[in-house]
Amino acid sequence: MPLDASHPTLADGYVAPPLIRAYRGERPETTPVWFMRQAGRSLPEYRELRVGTDMLDACLTPELASEITLQPVRRHGVDAGIFFSDIVIPVKLAGVDVRIVAGRGPVLAEPVRTPADVAALPALDPTALDPVREAVRLTVAQLGATPLIGFAGAPYTLASYLVEGGPSKEQLKTRALMHSDPGTWSALLTWCADITGVFLEAQLEAGASAGQLFDSWAGSLSLADYTAHVAPHSSRALEPARALGVPLVHFGVGTGELLAAMHGVGVDVMGVDWRLPLDEASRRLGGTVPLQGNIDPALLAAPWPVLEAHVRGVLDRGRAAPAHVVNLGHGVPPDADPTVLTRIVEFVHAHG
């Protein structure tokens, strides 16, 4: 279905902002910039606001999620807000017992590893997403001309949390299930695709102007495994969003060898982590795909002349692509100095 007539991008007199133009493959006068994980732990105002509130509860309290989303836009002057949430929110809203453990991440009460476990996964009632829709509406009303990007986790990354029971660097149990029980694997990935697809769709319908699918753990996969066992499910997750006609971004960590296959699931823009230069990423994608990235987060702690030279290099290499949105090659570290992020935004806007 197309977007409702009340969507901000369909308002009379709407002019696409630089970020959306870049996502569409144009070169705006000023290079747009935003940061993954720009909302959250690196901001003192976030830490003050979150005192006494559980992470997932914060995500599902519309006024709180909206304020957290807006904080970095006000502070840094970035060209987009990224909806403050967590990739396991649709898992929680479906009724699965999951919580965020400080210093570790999402942890499940019971891992999902058998055919019976997968068969017992509950369906997600669309009305459970009402707090998400309300948070997006509140945020878009405050952002004005600055676009909001919707956020969702890719099926493989969701599945890895479910199978491992929490974060895992190598996803050994996940990849073992993929090969040892393809039927159960397909059922699990289908469930993950459907709930995360509805989650992203809800944000876009409520007013987000673009969407990004994060596959945080796809870098553990071979190209053959990704293509055969994961890509079809990522494509399924994006089907509702594609039907809305908004630009879509796909990002993974350590996925330089998967770029073309990840683009092939049906997105407009590819995010690139810090490991692969943007001109090489553009070459691997045939020189036709807008790119997002890819400042090394480690260099946020470097002296400014070192970081400035690095950002200049990112801008220069980004010119190999049809369009470029500056971002980090992963998320903002929790100990990052917010003033450095603001300085990067100012530099990119002046020199991009």
Query: Where does residue 275 fall: left (phi above 0), alpha (psi -120 to 50 degrees), or beta otherwise?
Result: alpha
Q: Both tokens of residue 242?
A: 């594609």
Active site residue 242: no
Q: Of 271, 253, 321, 345, give the one whose Cα is nearest residue 27.
A: 321
Write the DSSP symbol of residue 33.
Answer: B
CA distance 290 to 328: 15
Report how far residue 177's alpha carbon sits from residue 320's, in angstroms, rounded to the nearest whole number: 40
SS (H, E, C) 182-209: HHHHHHHHHHHHHHHHHHHHHHHHHCCC
Candidates 24, 27, 50, 137; catalytic one: 50
3-class secondary structure, 316:
helix
**Who contacts 231 (Cβ-Cβ below 8 Å, separation ≥6)?**
261, 262, 264, 265
Per-residue pLDDT tens digits of the chain, which is 352 residues long:
789 899 999 999 999 999 999 999 999 999 999 999 999 999 999 999 999 999 999 999 999 999 999 999 999 999 999 999 999 999 999 999 999 998 888 999 999 999 999 999 999 999 999 999 999 999 999 999 999 999 999 999 999 999 999 999 899 999 999 999 999 999 999 999 999 999 999 999 999 999 999 999 999 999 999 999 999 999 999 999 999 999 999 999 999 999 999 999 999 999 999 999 999 999 999 999 999 999 999 999 999 999 999 999 999 999 999 999 999 999 999 999 999 999 999 999 999 8
pTM for this prediction: 0.97
Domains of the chain with bracketed CATH: 8-351 (3.20.20.210)
Backbone angles phi, psi at 164, to 5 degrees: -75, -20
Per the residue annotation, which of 21, 37, 75, 284 is the catalytic one?
37
Cβ(115)–Cβ(184) below 8 Å:
yes
Candidates 23, 79, 86, 156; catalytic one: 86
- Amino acid in position 146: T
Is-catalytic flag, 41? Answer: yes
Apex CA 170: angle with CA 333 and CA 230, to 5°?
100
User: Residue 218's closest CA among 268, 279, 174?
Assistant: 174
Whether residue 284 lies in the annotated active site: no
Distance in angstroms between the alpha carbons of the first and the last residue of the chain = 36
What are the tokens at 258? Answer: 């998967």
From the list 24, 27, 41, 275, the catalytic residue is 41
Q: Is 181 a catalytic residue?
A: no
Question: For this structure, is 319 an active site residue?
Answer: no
Q: Which tokens belong to 254?
A: 């350590």
How far are the Cα atoms of 6, 184, 249, 290, 350 from residue 25, in angstroms, in the given order?
25, 39, 12, 6, 21
Which of 23, 46, 156, 161 is the catalytic position?
161
CB atoms within 10 A of CB 109: 9
